[in-house]
């Protein structure tokens, strides 16, 4: 990487935590660019978790590759490794993926300007984790072998019949699960930009759940797993840092 | 909190690819938009509405590349 004449490295921001919390330690994760290690920088009562990035190399690559899933996957995983490691130590407000500042001055100015919003978000996410829940339709019982359609019309009729057999998206049982989970959680948010296109997916959402509610949460999910055996499948993923619940800090 | 959330299969068959998709779902779901004087924040752009096949193919490739590999690159620039 070439050093640039007048400007230092850019700073990639992973998240912001509070300095009152546990003393920041060294992180083991590789930085988002795989080269520069993440580290804490104190800014008033906050700690900004950053790593250096080459503004003319990495940051430009970032812009170019925002729709390149290979690139995105690798760097999202690195981002998550860092944020996850911080979240294991202390409450952290994750920054949006791919946020780069021109330098410390710009970063600190920004953080100071949103001080009160950050404070509110820290209250909201304290002792809570993010969880994803998805409900899939189970494979249908083998239907009578479809005869090859002899006409376009017949083909469409067969297709319509198949679609009809799918559990609907207005499934009341799914709605019941959604309601129960929403009652347990502090907040919920839509999710699934990436995975949402799977055809057997009936419903999915992301929740902010207090750690204290974890037991009830698990019990509720297990009840539905039992009840739905053979009809619907539930997938739960987490715990995540609260990526989906910090937009108030904007 | 574990560093690497897992997809918990409560029932049914496991789908190995799920975890990377989940990472993308969550990591890209938002996070604070910070507009430094700066930035190259790209976020806000809704990415992946490219159609299922494209996504799954890319994710598979990405998984192949990632699986079993230390994410730390050899050295060199992580620019690409």
Binned at pLDDT 50, 70 and 90, residue B74 comes out as very low
What chain A holds in terms of domains, given with CATH numbers, is 10-125 (no CATH), 128-249 (3.30.70)
Inter-residue contact A12 to A83 (CB < 8 Å): no
CB-defined contacts A:B, below 8 A: 257
| Contact call for B24 and A73, based on CB within 8 A | yes
Radius of gyration of chain B (CA): 16
The pLDDT of residue B70: 45
In this prediction, residue A196 carries a pLDDT of: 58
Span B29-52, pLDDT tens digits:
654 333 322 233 333 333 322 233
Looking up tokens 């400007």 gives A7
Confidence of residue A23 (pLDDT cuts 50, 70, 90): low
Q: Look at B18 and A61 and tell me if their CB atoms are within 8 Å.
A: no
Distance, in Å, from the CA atom of B6 to the CA atom of A123, rounded to the nearest integer, reads 26
The secondary structure of residue A57, as a DSSP letter, is: T
Rounded to two decimals, the pTM is: 0.73
Nearest chain A residue (CA) to B41 = A99
SS3 of A222, please? helix
Q: Under a CB-based contact definition with an 8 Å cutoff, are residues B43 and B33 in contact?
A: yes
**Nearest in space to A21 (alpha carbons), one of A136, A127, A170, A145:** A127
Structure tokens that stand for B18 in this block: 């799920």
Residues of A in contact with B50 (CB under 8 A): 67
pLDDT > 90 fraction of chain B, expressed in percent and rounded: 0
Residue A177's pLDDT band (boundaries 50, 70, 90)?
very high
Q: Where are the beta strands (DSSP E) in A168-200?
A: 187-189
Match 């490739």 to its residue by tokens. Answer: B61
How many whole angstroms separate alpha carbon A241 and alpha carbon A86?
A: 9
What's the ipTM?
A: 0.71
Window 19-78 of B, Cβ < 8 Å to A: 19-52, 55, 58-59, 61-63, 65-66, 71-73, 75-78
**Which of the residues B17, B23, B25, B73 would you substitute to probe the A interface, choosing the one with the greatest number of A C-beta atoms within 10 Å?**
B25
């Amino acid at each position: 990487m070439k050093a640039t004449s007048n400007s230092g490295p850019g700073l990639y921001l992973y998240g912001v935590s509070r300095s009152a919390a546990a003393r920041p330690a060294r992180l083991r994760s590789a930085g988002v660019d795989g080269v520069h290690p993440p580290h804490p920088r104190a800014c008033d009562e906050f700690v900004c978790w950053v790593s250096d990035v080459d503004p003319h190399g990495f940051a430009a690559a970032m812009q170019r590759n925002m729709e390149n899933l290979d690139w995105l996957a690798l760097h999202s995983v690195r981002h998550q490794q860092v944020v996850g490691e911080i979240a294991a130590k202390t409450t952290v407000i994750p920054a949006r993926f791919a946020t780069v500042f021109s330098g410390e001055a710009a970063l600190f100015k920004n953080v100071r300007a949103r001080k009160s919003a950050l404070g509110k978000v820290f209250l909201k996410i304290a002792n809570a984790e993010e969880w994803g829940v998805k409900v899939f339709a189970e494979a249908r019982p083998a239907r009578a072998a479809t005869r090859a359609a002899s006409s376009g019309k017949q083909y469409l009729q067969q297709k319509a019949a198949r679609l009809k057999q799918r559990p609907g998206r207005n499934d009341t049982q799914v709605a019941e699960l959604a309601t129960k989970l929403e009652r347990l959680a502090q907040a919920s948010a839509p999710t699934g930009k990436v995975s949402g296109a799977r055809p057997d997916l009936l419903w999915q959402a992301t929740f902010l759940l207090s750690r204290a509610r974890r037991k009830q949460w698990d019990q509720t999910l297990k009840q539905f797993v039992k009840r739905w055996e053979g009809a619907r499948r539930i997938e739960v993923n987490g715990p995540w840092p609260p990526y989906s619940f910090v937009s108030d800090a904007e | 909190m574990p560093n690497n959330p897992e997809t918990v299969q409560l029932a049914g068959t496991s789908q190995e690819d799920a975890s990377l998709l989940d990472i993308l779902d969550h990591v890209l779901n938002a996070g604070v938009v910070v507009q430094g004087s700066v930035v190259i924040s790209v976020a806000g752009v809704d990415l992946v509405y490219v159609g299922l096949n494209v996504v799954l193919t890319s994710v598979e490739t990405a998984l192949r590349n990632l699986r079993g590999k230390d994410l730390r690159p050899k050295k060199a620039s992580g620019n690409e």
